[in-house]
Amino acid sequence: MRKLKIGVIGAGSISELHFQSYLQNNDVEIYAVCDLNEQRAQDKMKKYNAETYYTNYHDLLNDPQVDAVSICTWNNSHAEISIAALDAGKHVLVEKPLCKTVDEALRVEEAVKNNGKVFQIGFVRRYASNTKVLKSFINSGDLGEIYYAKASNLRRLGNPGGWFADNERSGGGPLIDLGVHIIDLCWYLMGKPKVKSVTGNTYSKLGNRSNIKNLTFYQAADYDPDINKVEDLSNALIRFENGASLVVDVSYTLHIKKDETSIQLFGEKGGAEIEPELLIVTEKNDTIINSQPQVDSLAFDFNQAFQNEIDDFIKCCKGEALTLSPVEDGIELMKILCGIYESSEKGKEISFENLKHRIQKA
């Protein structure tokens, strides 16, 4: 079989992980690059020996040589480009989050059903090796029923600025950027229970703190210290129909001693940590035991997880597997994220039954 020809739409920072991973896959040819910035598109084309470049994604999608695309653009364009790509007969890997609204997510789902092409969402933490190990313990029943999880991703300084800080393009701040990862990971490991309700808060108290010196942080390619239209911090309580619950908090900036990432799950037979390192807690002979699996990587290996994600996408495109992160899961995550923002805005708990009715009426 010939190699799959890949087009990458959006040549910003996250695209590097896509390019590098495709480069390591023997069944792939990086064929085309598209970016609104022509110079950036040309640079990436040369760097990865692509055959051509475009500045309009419609032109790339009209190229019959392209088999599949990675969408690495601003969040507000994810749905539009995904639908166009599916309608053009291309397989699609779209970066998280799926889009900005639940209505957009439902339109993407309709396009997936109508076209029968592979559609995969970039929930990269699902593809990490430590996630796979922990999932095997959970699936075998070693932790019992998981009834509680808590997750934090707190930056003391780290508003990327640029489009990340522009609500129109991003759809929100740390909740939709960082929270989507840890909420999805917990929900996935908990067995993807149906959501009953969400209660959330968002805070915009500190701005992007561009005045801080002597401490570096990630900045978007279009970083502008004067752009800050998203929250600094968000927290939420997510209740599930099976009685389980998830507590989460995420920040771009916070008066905290150091950055923190912590993800814990608690079951009837045992508990587990997957961040900062994989650890399983059980009891035997009336004694609590902390067990650390002997694996290559106890912590989240971003590069390896991305490679696994890309490799899985290619297998799906070849008909050798089903995606681990389908459009249906993206819809549920959008419901959670939008529910949290709505809860904060209205100052009350948001029932998913009511949310369902609103979607149906729309």
pLDDT digits (tens, 9 = 90+) for 57-113: 999 999 999 999 999 999 999 999 999 999 999 999 999 999 999 999 999 999 999
Whether 357 has a pLDDT exceeding 70, the answer reads no
Q: In this structure, are 227 and 350 located in the same domain?
A: yes
Q: In this structure, are 95 and 222 located in the same domain?
A: no
Q: In this structure, are 312 and 341 located in the same domain?
A: no
> Which amino acid, 126?
R
pLDDT digits (tens, 9 = 90+) for 251-272: 999 999 999 999 999 999 999 9
Domain presence at residue 284: no
Q: In this structure, are 18 and 58 located in the same domain?
A: yes
Identify the pLDDT of residue 218.
81
Q: In this structure, are 226 and 262 located in the same domain?
A: yes
Domain presence at residue 120: yes
Identify the pLDDT of residue 227.
83
Q: In this structure, are 108 and 163 located in the same domain?
A: no
Q: Average pLDDT, stretch 31-38?
A: 97
Q: In this structure, are 212 and 243 located in the same domain?
A: yes
pLDDT digits (tens, 9 = 90+) for 200-239: 999 999 988 888 889 988 887 788 888 888 999 999 999 9
Domain presence at residue 300: no
Whether 362 has a pLDDT exceeding 50, the answer reads no
Q: In this structure, are 28 and 84 located in the same domain?
A: yes
Whether 359 has a pLDDT exceeding 70, the answer reads no
Q: In this structure, are 10 and 59 located in the same domain?
A: yes
Domain presence at residue 139: no
CATH of the domain at 151: 3.30.360.10
Identify the pLDDT of residue 225.
80
Q: In this structure, are 260 and 182 located in the same domain?
A: yes
Domain presence at residue 118: yes
CATH of the domain at 31: 3.40.50.720
Domain presence at residue 39: yes
Please count the structural domains in the chain. Answer: 2
Q: In this structure, are 33 and 175 located in the same domain?
A: no
What's the mean per-residue pLDDT of the chain? 95
Q: Name the residue range of residue 63's domain.
A: 4-124+306-323
Domain presence at residue 233: yes
pLDDT digits (tens, 9 = 90+) for 269-313: 999 999 999 999 999 999 999 999 999 999 999 999 999 999 999
Q: In this structure, are 114 and 154 located in the same domain?
A: no
